[in-house]
Amino acid sequence: MFKPSVLPPSPFGLPMPRLSVTIITKNEAQHIADCIRSARFADEVVVVDCGSTDATVDLARAEGAIVFEMDWAGDGPQKNRAIDRATGDWFFSLDADERITPELAAEIRRAIGRHDVDGYRVPRLSAYCGQFMRHGGWWPDFNIRLGRRGQARYTETEIHATVRVQGSVADLSAPLIHFSFPDLESVLDKLNRYSSAGARDMAARGKRVSFSRAVVSGGWAFIRTYFLQAGFLDGRRGFMLAFSNAEGTYYRYLKLWLMQQPPMSRDLPR
């Protein structure tokens, strides 16, 4: 059974809002235990797993999480499934490779006691190949993670889903820690998977692109990350990040362009 940490009493004797931390997983055995432990301050942790073949599910249950096993529906739909299975008044959406610091946990607990806000943006500090990145558009990387259930929900996109809030939004200040890319292999793997999913998302929206658009967009992604967003201040890894951003953008548009080409003739060339 999940055992949240002891919470201070609510002022004026009012009941404290309940908080659910929601996590979607697949083969996250190396991360899931530490991730759930960082959420110990919540009233419950809900994990939605989509076919892990490692010890993710067993480890999550051992840490006291409520685990549901189901197929993969895409980033946004899967996160909404987790929210729908939560029972708290509020949810905090957490990825398995992220950690909530004690400072952020305390800030979250204070935040959900407010009645004039329905969602909160959280700054995220992410690591890239062994270094936390402070530039290149990676910091403070605000995104909405804390929402009032019934007022906040993810978009239904396959990748890079975002929370939409019906109501007011405020910012928290303590960072969420993100161990995003431990090595170059993980960068290349995610680049390939995300560029394919991104191309499918654009195709579903009816977007059409040219080959030159793929080239120009990739080059612009490098310029924006390395120069305009001061990625060069992160040293060699800043260059690596800018280059991989350029590749991801180029391949996303290139894959969409290839999807829009007529199928190759099966006739033998003459």
**What would the pLDDT profile of 64-107 be if each residue is shown by its tens digit?**
999 999 999 999 999 999 999 999 999 999 999 999 999 999 99
pLDDT greater than 80 at residue 242: yes
Given this model, what pLDDT does residue 2 score?
61
Provide the pLDDT confidence category of residue 3 given band limits of 50, 70 and 90: low
pLDDT greater than 70 at residue 250: yes
User: pTM of the predicted model, to two decimals?
Assistant: 0.91
pLDDT greater than 90 at residue 264: no
**Domains, the chain, ordered by start:** 11-180 (3.90.550.10), 183-259 (no CATH)
The secondary structure of the chain as a DSSP string is ---PPP-PPPGGGPPPPPEEEEEEESS-TTTHHHHHHHTTTSSEEEEEES--SSSHHHHHHHTT-EEEE-----HHHHHHHHHHH--SSEEEEEETTEEE-HHHHHHHHHHTT-SS-SEEEE-EEEEETTEE--STT-SS--EEEEEEBTTEEE---SSS--EEESS-EEE--SPEEEEEESSHHHHHHHHHHHHHHHHHHHHHTT----HHHHHHHHHHHHHIIIIIT-GGGGHHHHHHHHHHHHHHHHHHHHHHHHHTSPPPP-SPP-
**What would the pLDDT profile of 196-209 be if each residue is shown by its tens digit?**
999 999 999 999 99
pLDDT greater than 60 at residue 136: yes
Of all residues in the chain, the percent with pLDDT exceeding 70 is 95
**What would the pLDDT profile of 7-55 be if each residue is shown by its tens digit?**
455 444 567 899 999 999 999 999 999 999 999 999 999 999 999 999 9
- Spatial neighbors of 184 by CB under 8 A, at least 6 apart, are 129, 240
Q: What crossing angle do the helices spanning 235-259 and 211-223 adopt, rounded to 10°?
A: 160
- Average per-residue pLDDT in the chain? 95
Q: What does the pLDDT average to over 111-115?
A: 97
